[in-house]
Amino acid sequence: MLNFSRKTDAKLTVLREVLQRVKNGEDVDVEKLLGTGNPEQEKEWEDVMNEIENTDMLAEAKKKREAKVAAREAARAAEQDAVAKEKKSEGSSDGKGGRPRFMM
């Protein structure tokens, strides 16, 4: 995995360099630099793109899970607050001055 990550980083660095040179208006042989026509390099690029897509999908799924957990925790906290307020209001309206009741 570490080896693949290094290859991916190297490919992305090459791509950034090519894009920067094109933006600067340099005459660049993009196909040669990116390995178009070379089956081995095309396979490497395909693997890199698949890995990026998979990583992106995993990151999106993780964000969704974290959002669901946060929503559940917020709902649970709101429910606990409501219960606490209800108990507090019951305790102060029974004429006992809000003294706690102990049940045995």
Number of domains in the chain: 1
Indicate whether 17 belongs to any domain: yes
pLDDT in tens, 76-98: 999 998 888 888 877 655 555 56
Domain range for 70 = 2-90
Indicate whether 99 belongs to any domain: no
Please name which of 37, 44, 51, 38 lies closest in space to residue 11, comparing C-alpha atoms: 44
Indicate whether 29 belongs to any domain: yes
Question: What pTM was estimated for this model as a whole?
Answer: 0.51
Indicate whether 54 belongs to any domain: yes
Please name which of 52, 72, 64 lies closest in space to residue 9, comparing C-alpha atoms: 52
Phi, psi values for residue 38, rounded to 5°: -95, 110
Indicate whether 33 belongs to any domain: yes
Indicate whether 100 belongs to any domain: no
Indicate whether 104 belongs to any domain: no
pLDDT in tens, 23-43: 999 998 988 888 888 899 899
Indicate whether 22 belongs to any domain: yes
